[in-house]
A and B are shown apart, each in its own frame.
Chain A
Amino acid sequence: MTEVTEVTIAEEQLQRPPAEVRYADELAALRAADGDPRPPGWQLSLRAARRFVVGDEQAGISRKFVGNVSLVERALVTLATNRGLMLVGEPGTAKSLLSELIAAAVSGGSELTVQGGAATTEDQIKYSWNYALLVSEGPSSRSLVPAPMLRGMAEGRIVRFEEITRCPLEVQDCLLSLLSDRVIAVPELDGPQGMVFARQGFNVIATANTRDRGVNEMSAALKRRFNFETVFPIPDFDTELALVEAEATALLRQSGVAAAPRRDVLEVLVGTFRELRGTAGRGERMSAVMSTAEAVSVAHAVGVRGWFLRGEPGGAADVVASLAGTAAKDSPEDLARLRRFLEQDVPRRKGAQWQALHDARHLLAD
């Protein structure tokens, strides 16, 4: 097992170190101060794990997931039971981040991950063989190459299964016996090695997004073995604005843009995203993904345009120009929705930047 401390590459060289490395200090502090009972096989108690995810200002634990606390609580309690956890939601709602954080808190590491896709096979989930050794020695525990599920079960840790619904149904269903009997049979090996029983602490966090194939096609048998949690876009305007501002500022700094994004422009941008996402209640939703992550990338684009084209932070006109790329990715209907919004809805709003947004509507191509 690769311990966190064994990561040899210096952290600053990584583009994005895993959560257990990024927040190693916080995890250590929580583990040291943790007096509550821990479920068997867990590195932290439920309460400490919750604090790791939702933050605790007084203890110096940062808030890492902006969303309902009760969702995190339900997720953690589910993992302590014998059902798996299924996180569903629109793309860009931080499902993978949440699963990474929880795995880091519960098992101390988030690297046991199966990335689901059309080409995922059972080998990548359970185990495969080192064929050179297999040919020379025959099946043995040396020639066996364990995949994340087998390792998670043997070591009693959380396994993440990303985008599970993108796997073929028959591959999804190989989780069935694994989740109910909690054992993987390796028929090629004899004796006790032929059965790998799950140790305490093993469980599965799967994520699925509602845009691709959705969870409707999943077999009822597999659904029954998971508790479902829907992760929603950030409900609160101010929270989302703050998040977009923070993320966009960081991205812009990385891109060498010296000017911080303007807050009033970001307000208009986030307001537009929320409206087109349908959170604001008008009932007209874009079919393109209008997630917070997408808002951040538009804010980034706006800043880059403004800075490198004109040497300023970027304004409402850049928002319209960048939105056209987001909204009209593959659907002319979305472009029409965006235009209707700019023409009919925006003029009713007060504020100079909304006005500027309205004035820049001609930047959308017909």
Chain B
Amino acid sequence: MPGTSTAVDVPPRAAGSAVFLGVRHHSPACARLVGRAIEELRPAYVLVEGPADMNDRLGELLLGHRLPVAVFSHYRDDTRVATSWAPLCDYSPEWIALREGHASGAEVRFIDLPSWHPAFAERADRHTNRYADAEARYARATERLCAQFAVDSVDALWDGLFEVTDGVDGTEGADELRARLDAYFELVRGDAEADPGDRAREEYMASWVRAAVARSGERPVLVVTGGFHQPALRALSARGDGTAGAPSWPEVPAPPEGAVGGSFLVPYSFRQLDAFAGYQSGMPSPGYYQRLWEGGAHAAAQGLLRSVAERLRTRGIPVSTADLIAARGLAQGLALMRGHAYETRVDVLDGLAGALISDDLEQPLPWTGRDTLGAGTHPVVVEMIAACAGDTEGRLHPDTPLPPLVHDVAEQLARLGLADPDGPVTLDLTEADGLTRSQVLHRLRVLGVPGFTRVSGPSDGADPVFTERWEPGPASGREAGLIEAGAYGARLDEAASTVLGERARAAGTEAGSLAGLLFDAVLCGVGPLCDELLEALAAQVGQVSELGPLGEVLTAALGLWRHDRVFGVARGRLLGAVVGGATDRVFWLAEGLHGGPGVDFARLRALAAARDALLHAPRLPSVTREAAALAAARIGRDRRAPADLRGAAFGLRWALGVPDDPATAVQALATTTASDALGDWLAGLFALAREEVTAEVTADGEPLIDVLDGVVSAMTEDDFLTGLPALRQAFAFFPPRERERVAERLLQRRGRHGSARSLLRTTADPLLLARARALEENVARLLDRHGLGAVR
């Protein structure tokens, strides 16, 4: 940067002697402007948008960390839980304001409300990024701008207007850039009505500006805030009235009585900072902007091209020189056409995409919007985005105060007598004390903190095991693990739930891991944080694509919802949402499932679980019993559906109280399908409606068993042998006593008397019987061949 001899460019619209610099968070161009302004103005105060409750601890930020790091804030009271991050990287305007302001001898102050303040509560997500783009919440103005400039996304617009421009180094360039920034933010703010939260924050920030102006005397005050707030802030500060006699700083709001909250520093990474990977992030592609900050637009574009090529080549995706030439040519052509001084990020990415991808895409190129990467994104695009993001990870200076989680865990373990046990710990979950201790240990387990291993205990919601046994392990890595886990939250329960939430997001729609997660969440204890996880689960069960694993989730959730006495989650609203969502999804998946022969017990269990949900928790699913019965009727009729599923559908209707006539169904089945399909069908039926079938055995009329008997008796020998394994499998659904009753019925039908039990049990080894039978058949065949068959 040039020397400070140039005249201080006091901006035209300063209020008092305050200089307002509206920035976009994580923008290198804005960071450069901030550095320049500090150098030229030599302000008495540098006021920065950041949590004011950190003001006493600004020194912690300047210890000498490797960026990116973030100020992590958390808060909880009876009604609300909130966590937020304020990430800082080398090219954050806030960071430059902090560092350069401090170096120039100015007094630096954060002037925004603390993160726990209700002003932030209106943001939809509880895990907020303080430095997310405010204007993203006021999208209409930026949409208009994009249409006007004929670009696809705000990021592309921003790069072209501000990041990649000619002559930012000169004073004139800087002035022009600033004028352009002001105009941009005036336009973005323009007619947008700020929400009450933003208005409260702006009021509060303005009170700091007024106080600083009153205290600074002749020297200027530099105010660095998000550009969205700047127009309002300027107006509010100029209204300065009450500050005349009282140049004291505004009070920092204290959390209400009984609430817990705090802030501490955590290491952050470019991966977390990237808008394509995370939600609520600021600018995308931090790796690219780091290069832009360090080496300028030209170097950044070339670096991006090089790192994408290297990444793809190490992954074994061919990138020829011709491809690179084409990519470069395209990028330059696009930059020219779009009127950019150099190739911007989007120009380079567009060029690479055009030259390297010779397939049809399933997902739109991510930089044409602001979405996170979806499933089905082309692998080359994924690598390109990763190359843009960079893999830099921040590291805290060793003197940084430890996160409170470390202290919280130490205190809890000491209180519960788990700090240093000599031997294994056995916990009785039915006692309050045992349950508390179990929950603490499970939370540590979920966080991946070494020290304890559970060797036995309940494995799912229906498991009637009420004791747990834990064995102590080496405690060496525990502290390091805890510090790392500190990034997830200040307290053990929060941290555990954050981790579970992340795992839920990572698991996506894989139901197998969702069932495990659900139980982990229950083991770790309920509370508002577990609620959030359940909400996420409820949303995700609607997307599961396999019937079997979905059934597991439903069984686990329904079991807990109906029967839990240990963990206190029975009849929980959110657990109910999981049950409801999973039940709906079972029907969604079951209808339209086609397949071959064989019995899939997992899907039968899923349907049985759905039956239980409909019978015992009818208000949870949005599928009504009537709708379910209709769907089942359709499945039952669908010739391409697997036989076991059709049987299960039939059974479901029976269980729901709208039985069709089993006799006709069995008859129809026996005449139209292969002999083993009958067994499969029956397996499905018995899995869903065993009790109804048994009840019918003792009733009058022609029950199912009689029809079956008729069908089986009419089978040819070969058909019977083919169908036998499936039939045996089907009848295995009956417990011995009920099987005996079926046998009695058969005897009765044939007018025989005797022990039904003896029918169920053979006296000899079945193999021996089979051999005897084979021998007999052999003899018969031999007799036949010699014309002696008639003797039989």
- Residues of chain A whose beta carbon lies under 8 Å from any beta carbon of chain B: 46-47, 50-51, 54, 68-71, 73-74, 76-78, 80-81, 83, 86, 88-89, 208, 210, 214-216, 220, 223-224, 226-230, 232, 235, 282-284, 333, 336-337, 339-340, 343-344, 347-348, 366
* A residues in contact with B542, CB < 8 Å: 282
Pair B326/A210 contact, Cβ less than 8 Å: no
Question: A224 vs B329: C-alpha distance in the bound complex, in angstroms?
Answer: 15
Pair B334/A77 contact, Cβ less than 8 Å: yes
Pair A74/B364 contact, Cβ less than 8 Å: no
B570 at the interface (CB under 8 A from A): no
Pair A343/B627 contact, Cβ less than 8 Å: yes
Question: A283 vs B369: C-alpha distance in the bound complex, in angstroms?
Answer: 20
Pair B330/A81 contact, Cβ less than 8 Å: yes
Pair A70/B333 contact, Cβ less than 8 Å: no
Question: A215 vs B358: C-alpha distance in the bound complex, in angstroms?
Answer: 9
- Closest chain B residue to A77 by CB distance? B333
* A residues in contact with B368, CB < 8 Å: 68, 70-71
Question: A70 vs B350: C-alpha distance in the bound complex, in angstroms?
Answer: 8
| Closest beta carbon of chain B to A218's beta carbon, Å | 8
Pair A68/B152 contact, Cβ less than 8 Å: yes
* B residues in contact with A348, CB < 8 Å: 622
| Closest beta carbon of chain B to A269's beta carbon, Å | 22
B543 at the interface (CB under 8 A from A): yes
Pair B326/A227 contact, Cβ less than 8 Å: yes
Pair B634/A366 contact, Cβ less than 8 Å: yes
B173 at the interface (CB under 8 A from A): no
B259 at the interface (CB under 8 A from A): no
Mask: chain B, 626-644; 1 = CB below 8 Å from A; 0 = not: 0100110010010000000
Question: A80 vs B354: C-alpha distance in the bound complex, in angstroms?
Answer: 13
Pair B152/A69 contact, Cβ less than 8 Å: yes
Pair B360/A46 contact, Cβ less than 8 Å: no
* B residues in contact with A284, CB < 8 Å: 588
B280 at the interface (CB under 8 A from A): no
B359 at the interface (CB under 8 A from A): yes
B587 at the interface (CB under 8 A from A): yes
Pair B150/A69 contact, Cβ less than 8 Å: yes
Knowing A68-B364, A336-B591, say if A344 contacts B333 (CB, 8 Å): no
Pair A344/B587 contact, Cβ less than 8 Å: yes
Question: A336 vs B622: C-alpha distance in the bound complex, in angstroms?
Answer: 18
Question: A228 vs B336: C-alpha distance in the bound complex, in angstroms?
Answer: 21
Q: A46-B336, A69-B151, A70-B152 are in contact. List 4 more A-B contacts (CB 8 A).
A: A50-B150, A70-B368, A282-B543, A343-B627
Pair A340/B337 contact, Cβ less than 8 Å: no
Picked from A69, A80, A215, A333, the residue with its CB within 8 Å of the CB of B592 is A333
B545 at the interface (CB under 8 A from A): yes
- Closest chain A residue to B338 by CB distance? A73
Question: A46 vs B334: C-alpha distance in the bound complex, in angstroms?
Answer: 10
Pair A344/B355 contact, Cβ less than 8 Å: no
Question: A81 vs B323: C-alpha distance in the bound complex, in angstroms?
Answer: 13
* B residues in contact with A229, CB < 8 Å: 354
Picked from B350, B358, B369, B623, the residue with its CB within 8 Å of the CB of A73 is B350
| Closest beta carbon of chain A to B353's beta carbon, Å | 8
Knowing A74-B334, A77-B330, say if A226 contacts B358 (CB, 8 Å): yes
Pair B337/A70 contact, Cβ less than 8 Å: no
- Closest chain B residue to A76 by CB distance? B337
Question: A46 vs B631: C-alpha distance in the bound complex, in angstroms?
Answer: 56
Pair A336/B360 contact, Cβ less than 8 Å: no
* A residues in contact with B782, CB < 8 Å: none
Question: A226 vs B588: C-alpha distance in the bound complex, in angstroms?
Answer: 42
Question: A115 vs B178: C-alpha distance in the bound complex, in angstroms?
Answer: 54
B346 at the interface (CB under 8 A from A): yes
- Closest chain B residue to A51 by CB distance? B150
User: Which of A54, A71, A214 lies at the interface centre, i.e. has the most chain B CB atoms within 10 A of its CB?
Assistant: A71
* A residues in contact with B543, CB < 8 Å: 282-283
Q: Is the interface of B mostly helix, strand, loop or mixed?
A: helix
B 335-362 contacts with A by CB, 8 A: 336-338, 346, 350, 353-355, 357-361
B 374-417 contacts with A by CB, 8 A: none
| Closest beta carbon of chain A to B14's beta carbon, Å | 35
Pair A235/B364 contact, Cβ less than 8 Å: yes
Pair B151/A70 contact, Cβ less than 8 Å: yes
Knowing A226-B358, A344-B622, say if A74 contacts B634 (CB, 8 Å): no
| Closest beta carbon of chain B to A41's beta carbon, Å | 15
Pair B354/A347 contact, Cβ less than 8 Å: no
Picked from B151, B322, B545, the residue with its CB within 8 Å of the CB of A283 is B545
Question: A223 vs B320: C-alpha distance in the bound complex, in angstroms?
Answer: 14
| Closest beta carbon of chain B to A75's beta carbon, Å | 9
CB-defined A-B contacts under 8 Å, sample of 12? A54-B150, A69-B152, A70-B350, A71-B368, A73-B334, A77-B354, A81-B330, A208-B360, A210-B360, A216-B359, A227-B355, A232-B361
B 627-680 contacts with A by CB, 8 A: 627, 630-631, 634, 637
Question: A227 vs B631: C-alpha distance in the bound complex, in angstroms?
Answer: 47
Pair B326/A83 contact, Cβ less than 8 Å: yes
User: Which of A47, A216, A230, A348 lies at the interface centre, i.e. has the most chain B CB atoms within 10 A of its CB?
Assistant: A230
User: Which of A73, A226, A228, A337 lies at the interface centre, i.e. has the most chain B CB atoms within 10 A of its CB?
Assistant: A73
B156 at the interface (CB under 8 A from A): yes
* B residues in contact with A208, CB < 8 Å: 360
B744 at the interface (CB under 8 A from A): no
Knowing A68-B368, A77-B330, say if A230 contacts B350 (CB, 8 Å): no
Pair B329/A81 contact, Cβ less than 8 Å: yes
- Closest chain B residue to A232 by CB distance? B364
B520 at the interface (CB under 8 A from A): no
User: Which of B543, B592, B634 lies at the interface centre, i.e. has the most chain A CB atoms within 10 A of its CB?
Assistant: B592
Question: A86 vs B360: C-alpha distance in the bound complex, in angstroms?
Answer: 10
Knowing A210-B360, A235-B364, say if A340 contacts B334 (CB, 8 Å): no
Question: A229 vs B351: C-alpha distance in the bound complex, in angstroms?
Answer: 11
* A residues in contact with B151, CB < 8 Å: 69-70
| Closest beta carbon of chain A to B655's beta carbon, Å | 20
User: Which of A282, A284, A344 lies at the interface centre, i.e. has the most chain B CB atoms within 10 A of its CB?
Assistant: A344
Knowing A77-B337, A333-B592, say if A215 contacts B330 (CB, 8 Å): no
| Closest beta carbon of chain B to A14's beta carbon, Å | 31
Knowing A68-B364, A235-B364, say if A80 contacts B152 (CB, 8 Å): no
Pair B359/A228 contact, Cβ less than 8 Å: yes
Pair B337/A50 contact, Cβ less than 8 Å: yes
- Closest chain A residue to B153 by CB distance? A70
Question: A223 vs B368: C-alpha distance in the bound complex, in angstroms?
Answer: 24
Pair A340/B152 contact, Cβ less than 8 Å: no
Pair B592/A224 contact, Cβ less than 8 Å: no
Question: A89 vs B359: C-alpha distance in the bound complex, in angstroms?
Answer: 10
Pair B337/A47 contact, Cβ less than 8 Å: yes
Pair B326/A70 contact, Cβ less than 8 Å: no
B 710-769 contacts with A by CB, 8 A: none
